[in-house]
Each structure stands twice: as structure tokens, then as C-alpha cells.
Amino acid sequence: MPSSRDVVFVDGVRTPFGRSGPKGLYAETRADDMVVRVIRELIRRNPNLPPERVDEVAIAATTQIGDQGLTIGRSAAVLAGLPKSVPGYAIDRMCAGAMTAVTSVAGGIAFGAYDVAIAGGVEHMGRHPMGEGVDPNPRFLSEKLVDGSALVMGMTAENLHDRYPEISKERADAYAALSQEKAAKAYADGKIQPDLVPTAIRTAEKGWGLAVQDEAPRPGTTVEALAALKTPFRSHGRVTAGNSSGINDGATGCVVAAADVAEELGLDAKMRLVSYAFAGVDPEVMGVGPIPSTERALRLAGLNISDIGLFEINEAFAVQVLAFLDHFGIDEDKVNPYGGAIAFGHPLASSGVRLMTQLARQFAERPDVRYGITTMCVGMGMGGTVIWENLA
């Protein structure tokens, strides 16, 4: 068995992201069917990959009950028509679920346990709101292990504004408006559509339909409109629905493989995994998580932040992105060129692979950029970062 092999990202796709709720795109669509659609599309788009060569299917969900339960990696693999010989499992690291699915199978590939794997995530927040069915241990609060605000993500973002007073509501709103503008331009330029899987949807009222684009973006959003929004987490606060990601439904998936196996099968590898890291922070300021995880990933890779030419950072909240950019002194034009979760939405466990898919597209356009980062903050006080090398 080889001591360690290079791991490459071959291809990534996702369903269009819907708004959660009774009128959202996927209100009457099952979460596992969304994953099935993604797996089938990955196999269809990569005809050189024999389905029996898939060694593992790792699918993340934050709320692992109902149609997101039953070891969703395995159940979706069977439903998607992969050979019964292909195993699968479920993962939970809240927002970084799909990212952890990728790093977990990548570790197995590097070690030699797998050659090819499918990794991704799904979240149907309309059916399964964040925290549904959980029973937090009372010791968290009674023994003051975490601040009471730690379990409400919007309150953790307000706490982050307290920690970084120079990040004003005006700055957060300006960042949010820019994200919407970038997403609208990326759509107009046809950058997003190639990796969207048209997904069958159905409602009792309208019958069958097809989801072909994200439902959440609000093109034309202005800073003035954002300034007028309520601050639900704190009176006279700074966090609004406009400078945060929405509550969304969606699924993502990707093919990762050993570099030599990708070459053997004739698969088009787009980027190489250089290093990854996860880190813990105080849960009440979970938005700072990407800072220590990125520092650790850079250290493991032997790189500096100046070596990184593109960043895909999950926009759970504008303040969290701005804290990251300020800490590292990053030029905003290197960050989320196609827009981010404030526009597209953030179906928790699925978002990590959306970041990777968008980075792979940008790498193809930018052969002058050698390294890129995908990073995100994670509920309960964590951050996750993956460093990629451009194979274009």
C-alpha cells in the first residue's frame, strides 16, 4: 500500500438552492431524492467513471432524522442505482458537513483505502429546521460551559460585531449588497448554471415542475434597502436577514479520487487537495472559526496567506467574512468572485461542496492562480479550511 497519494477534485454539482418553507422550491420534495439527483448527475457527467469503481459515498446532513436519516450516504447510493457493493455513510459537522465528507474520504484515498469516492451534503431546512429534535445537555448553561447565545447563530454574529467594533452594520450591509451583485453577474455570465442539476419538484397545487436556478438571490439589492431591515437578534443590533445567509434547502456532491486513478480512468481532475484543518473556538463567537483553521491549514501546507490567490468563504454572516478578511489583510477582489451564501443561500451541511465547485470553476478561468482556499465557520464554535492547488 502506498504511504500517501495525491487526492484530486474531479467534478462537483448541486441542486439549485431553494428557500425553505411551505412555498419554497422543495417544500414537497424529499431530501434523499435531492441527493439521489446529485449522485446520478455525477455519474452521468463522468462517463469514464464506472459506477462500480466508486468505493465510498459520504453524505452529510446536520439534522439526521426523517428523510435525512437512515445512513443517508448508503441509502442515497442504493436509491441512485449505484451497485449494492458500493458502501456509504452519514456525517455531521453542522455547516461543514459536506466539507468534512470530502476531507474524510480524501484521507481514505491518501491512505490507500479508496480510489474514488463521492462526497456531499444535503439540508432540507424547511422539513428539518436547525436544531429539530435535539436536546442540549443542561450542563452547557448550568456549568457555564458556553454562553447562552452560543446556540442561536444570529446572536453569535452579534457577538462578533461586539468583538470587532470596526465592522459596522454599514460595512456588513455593503458586503451583502456586493455579494448579491456578484451572484447576479455570475448568473448573467453563465458561470453558475453549468454545475446546477435540474431537479424535479412537485406541489399538490401546481403539479410537477423543474428547479433550474437558485431561488434565494435578490438581484438589485441596495445598501439603502438593507439598512431598513429589522435586527431580530438584538434591538438596535447589526445582524439582519439581508446581511446573513438565508434558511435554505439543497444538496451538493462531488467526485474525489487518487490522482493516479483519475489519470488511469481518464477523469478530468480540476484541483489537488494540498492540506486541510479544522479548529475550535468559543461557541458564542463561532464566526471566527475560519481564522485558526486557515492558520493551521497554511502551516501544514508550508504556505503563507500571500500564496493564496482565490478564496471561497461561506457567507453565513457578513461580519464573519469581514473579520476573516481584516485578520489576514485580504484583498476583497480575491474573495467569492461569483458571490456567496448571502445570495445563493446556505443549506447547512451541503454548502462546503458548493464552495469547492465554484473554486474549481474559477481555477479554470485563472491559470495564473496556483492556490485557493475553501473555508467556513461552523456551529458550536468551529472553523474548517481546505487548501487546493489549481491543476489548470
* Residue 158: partners with Cβ closer than 8 Å, 6 or more residues away: 149, 233, 234, 237, 238, 239
Number of domains in the chain: 1
Residue 205 lies in a domain: no
pLDDT over 90 (residue 96): yes
* C-alpha distance from residue 356 to each of 177, 250, 347 (Å): 23, 15, 15
Containing structural domain, residue 66: 7-126+246-390
Residue 204 lies in a domain: no
Q: Contact 257/354 with Cβ under 8 angstroms?
A: no
Query: Catalytic residues, which ones?
Result: 95, 346, 377
Segment 336-392, tens digit of pLDDT: 999 999 999 999 999 999 999 999 999 999 999 999 999 999 999 999 999 999 998
pLDDT, position 392: 85
**What is residue 185's three-state secondary structure?**
helix
Across all residues in the chain, what is the average pLDDT? 96
Residue 157 lies in a domain: no
pLDDT, position 59: 98
Segment 235-253, tens digit of pLDDT: 999 999 999 999 999 999 9
Q: What percent of the chain stands above pLDDT 90?
A: 93
pLDDT over 80 (residue 3): no
For residue 104, what is the enclosing H or E element? helix 97-111
Segment 281-294, tens digit of pLDDT: 999 999 999 999 99
Residue 22 lies in a domain: yes
Segment 149-208, tens digit of pLDDT: 888 999 999 999 999 999 999 999 999 999 999 999 999 999 999 999 999 999 888 899
Residue 159 lies in a domain: no
pLDDT, position 151: 84
* CA–CA dist 246, 227 (Å, integer): 17
pLDDT over 60 (residue 1): no
Residue 179 lies in a domain: no
CATH number at residue 319: 3.40.47.10
Residue 236 lies in a domain: no
pLDDT band at residue 148 using 50, 70 and 90 as cut-offs: confident
* CA–CA dist 290, 311 (Å, integer): 12
Residue 286 lies in a domain: yes
